[in-house]
Copies of this chain bind each other. A is one copy, B any other.
Amino acid sequence: MTDSNGSDRKFKWVGTRPIRHDGVDKVTGRAHYGADFDLPGMLHAHVLRSPHAHARIRRIDASKALALEGVKAVITSDDIPELPLDEASGPTNFSDLSRNVLARDKVLYHGHAVAAVAATSTRIAQEALSLIEVDYEPLPHVLDIRAAMAPGAPILHDHMRTKGLKEAPDEPSNIASKMELTRGDVDQALAEADFVIEREFETATVHQGYIEPHACVAQTNEDGQTTVWASSQGHFMIRAYSARLLRLDISQIKVIPMEIGGGFGGKTTVYLEPLAIVLSRKTGRPVKAVMTREEVFRATGPAPATLINVKFGANRDGKIVAAKCELFYEAGAFPGSPVAAGAMCILAPFDLDHFTIEGYDVVLNKPKTAAYRAPGAPPAAFAAETVIDEIARELEIDPLDLRRNNAVSKGSQAAYGPKFSDIGLIETLDALRKHPHYEAPLGENQGRGCAVGFWFNAGMQSSAEVKLNEDGTAVVVEGCPDIGGSRASLAIMAAEELGIDVYKVRPVVADTEAVGINDNTGGSRVTFATGMAVIEASQDVVRQCCERAANIWDIDAKDVIWQDGCAVATGDGAKKLDEEGKLPSMPIAEIAAGAARTGGPITGKASLNARGAGPAFAVHLVDVEVDRETGKVDIVRYTTVQDAGRAIHPSYVEGQMQGGAAQGIGWALNEEYVYDADGVLANPGFLDYRMPVALDLPMIDTVVVEVPNPRHPYGVRGVGEVPIVPPIPAIANAIHDATGVRMRKLPMSPPNLLAELTRAGRA
C-alpha cells in the first residue's frame, strides 16, 4: 500500500504544474457555462421584481400577461408550497429561502422576485412582465444598520424575535440574533493594560462580481422527473434545495453541472432553479432562465455592509493583553449574515487570554446576503489589523514583530475554541520578513502596509470515485464544480496514488446521479476534502490491484506493495516468484487488462465528511501611492505570503492568492452598493460598480509557505479564501504610512480618502 505521510513523502506529481485537464476546452470556448445550453422547444423565463424596497403585496393579476401570444405560464408564490416559518436544516432556513425565491405577502427589497413568466422568447417574456399587475401597499423601509437596530425602525418580519439573548424578547426586532465568544476577564485586563485603543469601522455592501450571471435550464417530464442544467458552486445543493422548496423527492431531480464563471460564495444557493422547474412543470417544456447583470446586482446575495467596534489593550512590551469586539453585520432581507464567521476570525491570529466578541445579525431592506470568499472575515480583519498597525506605531515596533510576538502557534487555543495543531502563521510572517519587498525603498507619496488574514477552512462532505479503465488509464469522478483548477489538482492526487501519468487520468465533475453527495465548492474545501476522497478512492483501487496481483501470483496479498504504478511482490512472495522464474512486478495496465478475468472491473470510491481542515494564515504586503489631489490610490507593489499546507498544483494556489488579493483590493478601494432614498440600488452594473481590472493592478507576487496540515494525507490546507482577508487592512495601513491618515470606512475611494485627507489637512 501507498505510504501517505504528507511531510516526508517524495512526490512525483504533487507540486508539479500540468496543463489543467479542462484548459483546452476553456480557451477554445468549447466549455459550456450556465447560459450555453439550449433544448428544442425551450421557453425563456424572466422574473418580475419588486419596484419597492418594502411593501405588502395585496394582489397579483397575471391575466393580461397570460393573454399575450407566446406566454405559456406565469407563476407567483401561490404556485410553490408555503413552507412553515421555522423550516430549517442546519444553517439554511428554507422558509426564508422560499420567500426569497418568490416573495410571499411582502416584498422586502427592491428587486425581490414577485412572479416569473415563461414565454417562447425572451422578448415576449420581458413584455409579459410589464403586463403583470401587482397591487402593492408600500411600507417604510430601512437601509442603514444603525437605523435598523434603532427603536421604532420599520420591522421586516413581524414574527422575528432576537435569538441568543439571555431573556427571550416579546417584541419583534430586526436583530435576528446575537452571538458571543468570550475568554478570561476582558474588562479587568483592559483596565490593567498599559494603553487601550478603541476604534469603529464601517464597510460597505459589496458584490462578489462573478463574471457569469446566474443561469439554468430545467426540464420536468410528465412523470415529474426533473433535470436541471445549472451553473453553481454545488449541484447537490441545487438538487437538495429545489427538492425541499418544491416538496419533491430528491430522487426526482437530477442536476447537471455546467462550468461556472465565478462564484466566490455567491452561487451557494438557489434563485432561478425552483422557478424554472415549476415553469417547466406547468408548461411541459424546458425552461431557461438567465439573469441580467442588473438582476445579479439587485437580487442576488452581496456581502454585507458591517459596523465593527474594537478595543485592544496592550502593554509597552508589545504584548496584546485583551480585546473587546462588537460586530454588526447586515443580513439583508432575511437573517443569515456571516457575522459568526467574522467573530470567529477577528481575533484568531492572536494568542489572547482575555477577550469578548459579540456579533449581531441584522435584517434590513437589501437583498439577502450570500457568502463571499472567507465570508465575514475581511471586515473583521480590517478592524483588528488596522488597530494592530496603530499599536505597532504607538510602540514603534515593526508591525511584523508585533504580530509575531502575539501570534498563535501549535498548541494555542484559537479564539473560537479549538487548539491549533500545526499552523503556519509564524512561518508566513518570517517568509515575508525575508522577502526583498519588505525592505525595498518607497517613492514619494508612497506608503507600505501589511496585514495578516485568517480563515479556518472547511471540510464537509465529499464523494469521489476512481475508475480503472481496461487500458490502465483512469477516470476520477467527483462532484464539486471546478472553480479554481480542482480538476487538475484532483487528477494529480489520483496520478500520485495510482502511479500513472497525470494525463492518463480524466477528472470529471459529475452530475448528481453519477457520484455520491458533494457539498458545495466553497470553504476552500475542494482540494482538501474532495482531494481526501480522491486519495481514498485511489487507494481503494490500488488495494484491489495488489489483491488481484497477489491472486494471479498465488502469493499472500500482504507481500504485495504498490510502487510506481506496479504491484510489486516482496518478502516470501518475491521469493516464490523468483523460484518460478517470474517477474515480481505487474504494471497497472496489465492488471487492468486482465481485470475481467480476475474478478471484474476495478473501481474505488470514498464518501466522507472531512475532518481536520487546516486553518490558513496569510500575510500581505502592499505599497500604495496616494494622489493627494484626487484621493486616488494606486497599488504599486503587492506581495502575498500564505501557508498552503501543501501546494498540489502551485499555479492554482498562486492563482487563488492573486485572485483573493485582487478582490480584496477592489473591496478596499472602490466597491460599494450605492442606494438612493427609495432603497433602489443606483449602481447595478460594472460601469458604476467599479471592480479592479488588470490595468488597475500590478503583478501580485506570491510566496507559498508549506506547513503540512497533519490531518490531510498530503498536508493540504485550503487556500481559496484567506487571501481576500488581509488586503483591506494592508491597504489602509499603507495609506496611513503614505499620508498619516487612518481610513476606517470603506471604500477608501478617491472621494472618501480625499475627504479624510482634507479633514486632516493633508490633501
Q: Chain A: residues with CB nearer than 8 A to chain B? A: 23-25, 28, 30, 221-223, 225, 240, 243, 249-252, 254, 460-463, 465, 467, 469-471, 473-475, 477, 504-506, 508, 510-519, 595-597, 599-603, 605, 607-610
Cβ contacts A to B, 14 pairs, < 8 Å: A24-B222, A249-B504, A250-B471, A251-B469, A251-B504, A252-B473, A465-B465, A475-B512, A475-B513, A516-B601, A516-B603, A600-B608, A601-B607, A603-B605
* Extra inter-chain contacts (12) besides given A251-B469, A467-B517, CB under 8 Å: A24-B222, A24-B223, A25-B225, A225-B506, A250-B473, A461-B596, A463-B603, A465-B605, A477-B514, A510-B514, A597-B609, A601-B608
Report the minimum CB–CB distance from A17 to chain B (whole Å).
Answer: 17
Residues A28 and B508 in contact, CB atoms below 8 Å apart:
no
Q: Which residue of B lies closest to A593 (CB)?
A: B89
The CA of A254 and the CA of B467, in the complex, are separated in Å by: 13
Neighbour of A28 across the interface among B222, B467, B473, B605, CB < 8 A = B222
For the complex, what is the distance from the CA of A80 to the CA of B714, rounded to whole Å?
A: 43
Residue in B506, B601, B605 whose beta carbon sits within 8 Å of that of A517 in the complex: B601
Shortest A245–chain B CB gap in Å is 13
Contacts A602-B607, A603-B463 given; indicate if A506 touches B516 (C-beta within 8 A): no
* Contact residues in B for A508 (Cβ distance below 8 Å): 254, 513
A514 in contact with B517 (CB, 8 Å): no
Q: How many copies does the complex hold?
A: 2
Central interface residue in A252, A467, A514, A601, by most chain B CB within 10 Å: A601
Q: Are A250 and B470 in contact (CB under 8 A)?
A: yes
Most chain-B CB neighbours within 10 Å: which of A254, A467, A471, A596?
A467
Of chain B, the residue at the smallest CB distance from A471 is B250
Q: How far is the CA of A30 from the CA of B221 in the complex (A)?
A: 8
Query: Measured between alpha carbons, how far is A721 from B603 in the docked complex, in Å?
Result: 30
Q: Which of B222, B471, B504, B514 contacts A515 (CB 8 A)?
A: B514
Q: List, in ascending order, chain B residues with CB within 8 A of A608's CB.
A: 599-601
| Min C-beta distance of A459 to chain B, whole Å | 10
The A contact surface, by secondary structure, is: mixed
Establish whether residues A463 and B601, one from each chain, have CB atoms under 8 Å apart when the complex forms: yes
| Cβ contact within 8 Å between B513 and A471 | no
Residues of B contacting A28 with CB < 8 Å?
Answer: 221-222
Query: How many Å lie between the Cα of A706 and that of B25 in the bound state?
Result: 53
**B residues less than 8 Å from A607 (CB atoms):** 600-603
Closest to A501 in B: B249
- Which residues of B lie under 8 Å from residue A516 when comparing CB positions? 467, 601-603
Listed from nearest, the 9 A-B pairs whose CB atoms lie closest are A514-B514, A251-B473, A24-B223, A600-B609, A517-B601, A250-B469, A516-B603, A251-B506, A601-B607
Contacts of A518 in B (CB 8 A): 601
Q: How far is the CB of A268 from chain B (nearest CB, A)?
A: 16
With a CB–CB cut-off of 8 A, which chain B residues contact A222? 24-25, 28, 30
Contact flag A470-B514 (CB < 8 Å), given A251-B504, A600-B609: no
* Contact assessment for A513 and B252 in the assembled complex, using a CB-CB cutoff below 8 Å: no
A474 to B250, CA, bound (A): 8
Chain B residues with CB under 8 Å of A23's CB are: 223
* Complex contact B473–A249 (CB within 8 A): yes
* Shortest distance between the CB of A680 and any CB in chain B (Å): 39
A250 CA / B467 CA spacing, docked (Å): 11
B residues less than 8 Å from A506 (CB atoms): 225, 251-252, 254, 513
Nearest chain B CB to A598 CB, angstrom units = 8
In the assembled complex, the Cα of A610 lies from the Cα of B28 at a distance in Å of 44
C-alpha spacing A462/B596, complex, angstroms: 10
Question: Once bound together, how far apart are the Cα atoms of A30 and B41, in whole Å?
Answer: 12
Establish whether residues B24 and A505, one from each chain, have CB atoms under 8 Å apart when the complex forms: no
Bound: A222/B24 CA distance, A: 7
Distance between Cα atoms of A696 and B475 in the complex (Å): 49
Cβ contact within 8 Å between A601 and B461? yes
> Which B residues lie within 8 Å of A601 (CB)?
461, 463, 516-518, 607-609
- The minimal Cβ–Cβ distance linking A298 to chain B, given in whole angstroms, is 32
| Chain B residue at smallest Cβ distance from A243 | B471
